[in-house]
Structure 1
Amino acid sequence: MKVDRRRWLGAIGALPLAACMSSRESGFPATGWIGADPTIGHRLRTAPPDSQEAAERLATDVLIVGGGIGGLSAGWWLERAGLGDFLVAEIQPTAGGNARGGGNEISRFPLGAHYLPLPTRESFTLRRLLADLGALKGDPDGLRPRYEERLLCAAPQERLLRHGHWQEGVIPDAGLSKSEREEFSHFFALVGGYRNRSGTRKAFALPMACSRLDDEMRHLDTKTFGDWLRENGLTCAPLRWYVDYACRDDFGTPADAVSAWAGLHYFASRDGMAEGAANDVVLTAPEGNAWITEGLAQRLGPRVRCGWMVRRLTRTRSGFEASIDDVGSGRSIVCAAKAVIWAAPLFIAARVIEQLPDLARAHATQIDYAPWVMAQLTLESAPPERPGAERAWDNVVYGARSLGYVVATHQRLSAAQAPTVWTWYHALTGAPSPILRQQLLASTPEYWARFAIEELAPAYPELLPHVQRIDCIRHGHAMARPRPGFLTAPARHWFAQGVAGLQFAHADVSGFSVCEEAHARGVAAAERIAARLRGRMPDPSVIYSV
């Protein structure tokens, strides 16, 4: 997409003036970029040479491209199926995708996804994975499994700043008028109606392919979530803020741009439970969801090859041939594989996979990815608090453009508020995604550090003296936005089914980026490949065609 300079400047102008102040101004903490290096991925923009002498040739049964949740889950399932001859090619120096973790001398912290809702019974393979990682105890198929205590988010879990006062939870309950309370009640009654419907399938389930996809459900995908809210008379400002917050949190997009099906799925699909815990508790750790990806990568061992950039994937008589650049050494590698599991974002597949059908290539290039920025604020002392509820794990400011912050040290037994690390999240909106990505790439870490400080100012007007340093993270293609029409798109179904020897295991196949979807797609892809190579029928309980 061609970027119009006027729109580009307008997008920048919409950001706070304070964020543009000189980096030479005294008293501001040190800043820097951490996390995945975008310049590595951008090398794929240039076509690989037609012929290049390979420094190494190797062969494997299965090549998995991408080392995020989907790719690592695929490797885990292949190993369970008795197929241990596989390699995972990950372009970045460490595996994990959007579930990587970082850390400093004070604490570990997330570089992306920071929690996992309690897995539903439909997500039974995810429960089994958590059992393998030691996070789930006892029967993973039980109604209320027992989870490792250190991973259950300690109370208080969430709070919201509104009218200068902290309240428990993120639903803006305090100060609502009678009519506003009635709208909230009506909204949750409608969501509960979908959640409680009887039948052979739930209306909304995780994984999403377990949902009931009849004409009524498909019709929801023809409109935005904002349209659905207006049709049901749900228009009051506090409710709209709350729904927009939820959509930006999971999809990086406000309700007026999200499919109504996806928006309702967010609220109606999560019904996992745990022994001895509230149903709305989440699993978390200081490093976010990195405990999952790091545990998987450790299990898979040297089969995970970090710094491997797959530049071309070609079908051969015996399977596939991958042209790979070793990013660190510059060596060229050719890998022959009987089968391939593509677990990287689909827009990259459109660049790399030769002979991809036109319909699939067009779909992959048209996925709208939400860009995100994060900031890790290292605090050496605790700033004064507004009155109300005590500091929680997740802390949200009503009306802010950003999503608030989570506390990396929240799970510690100590009641000390500092030193600590706050992880602040912001989904970029307000302009076409390519413009926002260019803005993100051109900006400095101090720009976003100042943005974060300004966003947190309603809660902490005197925050700056307590901050030692601020490290920022860019995610140019953080998550696919599930816009109206995504659910029924024929090309998405093509990726869900794959073809002989080539399966797709990224959350993009589901149309939105959550851990449960990436894992389910990884397992489904691995099961199809394992069955094919072993000459058996795949297990239908883990195979999804939509």
Structure 2
Amino acid sequence: MQRRRFLTAAASAATAVLSPGCSQAPAPLVGGFAGIDMARGHALRDLLARGSLPAPAAQRRTRVLIAGGGIAGLAAARALRLAGVNDFALLELEDSAGGNSRAGSVLGRACPHGAHYLPVPGDSAPEVQNLLEELGLRQRVAGRWRYDEFTLCHSPQERLYWQGHWHAGLLPVDGVAPRTLAQYRLFAQRIRTLSRAAAFAMPTFADWGNNKAVAPIALALDAITFDTWLGGEGLDDPHLRWYLNYCCRDDYGAGSASVSAWAGIHYFASRHGFAAPGEGGEGAADDDSDGLLTWPEGNGFLVRKLAEPLAPGQQLRTGHSVLRITEQRHGVQVDALEHASGQVVRWQADQCVVALPVFIAARVVQNPPQFLRAAAAQLAWAPWVVTNIATNAPLTDRPGAAPAWDNVLYTEATPGGLGYVDAGHQRLGLGALLTAPTVLTYYEALGDVPGGRAQLARLPWQHWAEAAVAGLSGPHPDLRERVERVEVTRYGHAMAIPRPGGLKTLSKIGTQGNVDKRMRLSNGERQRPLPTPATARLAFAHADWSGYSVFEEAFTRGHGAGLRAAAG
């Protein structure tokens, strides 16, 4: 609380000196695109579209080939190492691994290029808990689990810019009508009731391997949109609906009119519920169970830790486009374009972990199994833009709540805007918080924006940079004059959108080919068997198989696929 009071006082002092001043034409922004190479991905698309792939110029051999270096692929590599299997190769399209959890830096300041936090995992995600324990971020103290206090998100965690002021938290509360508060309480009660009526686990498939059918109530919610369910419940308050729509766009890339009711409810019921004002909730417990883990570079910290043990150029091979995966009687044949040499390399392996987005897997796997075709037909993907804005000092603030890690605008100037996180928020020195340069990471989810993916490919980086700076200049009038550099990262297919029908389709697929065995790994922990969509020699692992993209889903699926490949 001292930190919060200090920041509030400092923000008030800064606001007192706000003045219009003399306006001058702003200097052009300096920056460019960063993070991923869209042209490289499109080259793969164009090669596949032609249907005539180059002949292999070299051949290599490994026991297990991992196709894809996102969180699922990195988790599979870790599982193989823990099982004592070091003869594997991981092929990644970009020049660094990590998927949409990548990170980078602007002017030497670390910042996320995508996912920026990890909720403290619950007991349904023991694989993630084990990872955090291995990294020293979780330990048992006096019989209770504690998480590294330097990694837990510092207070204040979030705030909302609304009606010209900053407000603590993201739920509009100050000055709202009694009916709004009543609807908040009603929604909280419905979440509690549904949490008891159906399993809303994180990861979603935690019980699928135990032959438990998906609850009928979950399938009924999966059949309609979240907006339809809210309307049927009489939950029509505009402030509540704004907040729920924001939550869906933030986690799923599309709003409450697009995602299923099951997904909208799962957002709350799978983690820490929904607390109406005055009812306690997140942060009310005396332990760390409701916390968020974050770093200046976001989940890029976890990517770095997962990639560090992998031998570069041997186990981890970046700059490779997987072109063809062919399952054979005695192994798997994988053709990949090595971008540095321009040659196609043919890999022979005993097993293959296909840790690729489902729409890519369906194109490169030869004679794809029916469950892969069904998943590709069901899913849709949201494009995203992540804009990192390096500033030479913290910004002048409008009145209200103190600067926070997560800063959201009730009325966004950009169609898909979701606000920004401050890469400098985890600093320990309060003096540095008020004076040091930082990076603001601004997020835009374009899943509901018509032509959003085409805009990503067509518009220059200046379009996205100018839109982000203009959108944030309302709450931060001195932003433009403090900007040093802007870097824009584009994701054409950032995450699967959990549309109606997705749970039904993917839950049927979830247990197909589940031949995992219980194993005791080199860290001494017995691992549970996990449902892994698979054929005889292919194990499929990606957050897409859960229908939406979060770390727990990707990591747990990759871990299970790695165990399966080790056992095969």
In structure 1, distance between residues paired with 2:180 and 2:54 = 66
User: How far apart, CA to CA, are the structure 2 residues paired with 1:407 and 1:175?
Assistant: 28
Which of residues 489, 500, 525 in structure 2 aligns to 1:473? 489
Give the aligned partner of residue 218 of structure 2: 217
**Could you say which residue in structure 2 is the equivalent of 1:296?**
306
Give, in whole Å, the separation in 1 of the partners of 2:444 and 2:471.
10
TM superposition shift of 1:315: 1.7
Counterpart position of 1:83: 85
The answer for unaligned runs of 5 or more in structure 1 is: 1-24, 534-546
Structure 1 counterpart of 2:151: 151
Contact preservation (8 Å) 2:147, 2:288: no
Compared CA separation, residues 244 and 61, structure 1 to 2 (3 A): same
Q: Give SS of 1:150's match.
A: coil
Give the aligned CA root-mean-square deviation in angstroms. Answer: 2.2
* Identity level (%): 41
Question: Is the 1:375–1:449 contact (alpha carbons within 8 Å) kept by the matching residues of 2?
Answer: yes
Does the C-alpha gap of structure 1 residues 453 and 292 become closer, same or farther in structure 2, counting only changes over 3 Å?
same
Q: 1:261 to 1:104 in 2, by over 3 A?
A: same
Correspondent of 1:207 among 199, 203, 218: 203
1:151–1:285 Cα contact (<8 Å) kept: yes
Deviation at 1:381, TM superposition (A): 2.5
Structure 1 residues 54 and 386 mapped into 2: Cα distance closer, same or farther (>3 Å)? same
1:121 match: 123
Aligned twin of 1:489: 505
Tell me if the contact between 2:375 and 2:545 (Cα under 8 Å) persists in the aligned partners. Answer: no
Q: For residues 543 and 267 of structure 2, what CA distance do their matches in structure 1 show?
A: 15
- Taking the aligned partners of 2:468 and 2:144, their CA distance within structure 1 comes to 39
Match of 2:35 in 1: 35
Alignment of 1:88-487 (within 5 A): 88-138=90-140, 144-195=144-195, 197=196, 203-210=199-206, 213-271=214-272, 277-302=287-312, 303-358=315-370, 360-400=372-412, 401=415, 402-415=417-430, 416-417=433-434, 418-432=436-450, 435-487=451-503
| 1:44 matched residue in structure 2 | 44
Q: Pairwise mapping of residues 49-88 of structure 1 onto structure 2 (< 5 A)?
A: 52=54, 54-88=56-90
Moved more, 120-129 or 399-408: 399-408
8 Å CA contact retained: 1:255, 1:263: yes
SS at match of 2:442: strand
C-alpha separation in 2, matches of 1:97 and 1:329: 23
SS in structure 1 of the partner of residue 418 of structure 2? coil
Please state how far the C-alpha of 1:325 moved relative to its aligned partner.
1.1
Amino acid in the other structure paired with 1:265:
H
SS at 1:458 equivalent: coil
Q: Distance in 2 between matches of 1:277 and 1:111?
A: 30
Are the counterparts in 2 of residues 121 and 143 from structure 1 also a CA contact under 8 Å? Answer: no
Letter in 1 for 2:295: A
Residue of structure 1 in register with 2:517 after alignment: none
What CA deviation, in whole Å up to 9, does each residue of 1:91-144 have, x standing for no partner?
1100111111101335200011000011011100111111222222238xx995
The number of aligned residues is: 500
**Aligned match of 1:517 in 528, 534, 553?**
553
Q: CA offsets, 1:441-477, max 9 Å, x none?
A: 1011110111112221331233211111211110110
Unaligned runs of 5+ residues in structure 2 are: 1-24, 208-212, 274-281, 514-531
Q: Which residue of 1 aligns with 2:14?
A: none
**Native 8 Å contact 1:73 1:296 kept in 2:** yes
Which amino acid in structure 1 is aligned with residue 294 of structure 2?
T
Distance 2:367 2:311 in 1: 32
C-alpha separation in 1, matches of 2:492 and 2:504: 26
Query: What is the rounded CA distance, in whole Å, between the counterparts of 2:114 and 2:395 in structure 1?
Result: 25
Mapped partners of 1:144, 1:519: distance in 2: 24
Q: In structure 2, how many angstroms separate the alpha carbons of the residues matched to 1:27 and 1:473? A: 22
C-alpha distance after superposition, 1:301-343 (max 9, x if no partner): 3311111211111122211101111111212211101111111
Given that 2:335 and 2:345 are in contact with CA atoms closer than 8 Å, whether structure 1 keeps it comes out as yes
Given that residues 473 and 480 in structure 2 are in contact (C-alpha distance below 8 angstroms), is that contact kept between their aligned partners in structure 1? no
Checking the alignment, whether the CA contact within 8 Å between 1:372 and 1:474 is kept in structure 2 is yes
Distance 1:160 1:49, change over 3 A: closer
Q: Shift of the alpha carbon at 1:209?
A: 1.1
Between 486-495 and 299-308, the greater mean CA deviation after superposition: 486-495
Q: Is the 8 A contact 1:383 1:462 kept in 2?
A: yes
**Is residue 28–residue 464 contact of structure 1 (8 Å, CA) maintained in 2?**
no
1:379–1:466 Cα contact (<8 Å) kept = yes
Q: Deviations over 1:381-418 (max 9, x none)?
A: 33321111110000011122411100001111122334
Counterpart residue number, 1:16: none
Output one character per residue of 1:226-273: Cα deviation in whole Å (capped at 9) or x when no partner: 111111111111000100110000001110110111111111111499
CA distance change for structure 1 residues 465 and 318 in 2, over 3 Å: closer, same or farther?
Answer: same
Q: Which residue number in structure 1 is paired with residue 519 of structure 2? A: none
The secondary structure found in structure 2 opposite 1:191 is: helix
Contact 1:106/1:420 (<8 A) preserved: no
Distance in 2 between residues matched to 1:126 and 1:382, nearest whole Å: 34
Which whole-Å CA distance do the structure 1 matches of 2:143 and 2:219 have between them? 29
The answer to whether the Cα contact below 8 Å between 1:492 and 1:510 also exists between their aligned partners in 2 is no
Correspondence for 2:566 among 511, 527, 530? 530
Distance 2:478 2:80 in 1: 52
277-286 or 312-321, larger mean C-alpha shift: 277-286
The one-letter code matched in structure 2 to 1:191 is I
Moved more, 513-522 or 363-372: 363-372
Q: Is the 8 A contact 2:106 2:487 kept in 1?
A: no
Measured against aligned partners, the alpha-carbon deviations of 1:169-193 in whole angstroms (never above 9, x if no partner) come to 1111112100000001110111122
Contact 1:102 1:109 in 2 (8 A): yes
1:58 and 1:231 mapped to 2: Cα distance? 58
Equivalent position amino acid for 2:564 in 1? R
| Conserved 8 A contact 1:241-1:399 | no
Aligned equivalents of 1:146, 1:278: Cα separation in 2: 6
SS of residue in 2 equivalent to 1:300: coil
**Counterparts of 1:430 and 1:264, CA distance in 2:** 19
- C-alpha distance in 2 between matches for 1:345 and 1:39: 17
Q: Contact conserved, 2:379 with 2:502, CA < 8 A, in 1? A: no
Determine the C-alpha separation between the residues in 2 that align with 1:426 and 1:407.
15
SS of equivalent residue, structure 1 residue 121 = coil
User: For the residues of structure 2 that align with 1:38 and 1:143, how far apart are their CA atoms?
Assistant: 49
Partner of 2:65, secondary structure, is strand
Q: Distance in 2 between matches of 1:168 and 1:186?
A: 22
CA distance in 1, matches of 2:139, 2:342: 44
Shift of the 464–52 alpha-carbon distance from structure 1 to 2, 3 Å rule, reads closer
> Residue by residue, what CA displacement relative to the aligned partner does 1:1-59 show, whole Å, maximum 9, x if unpaired?
xxxxxxxxxxxxxxxxxxxxxxxx75132121010101111122213875755343111
**1:149-206: CA deviations, max 9, x gaps?**
22111111101111111111111111210000000111011112233x28xxx62011
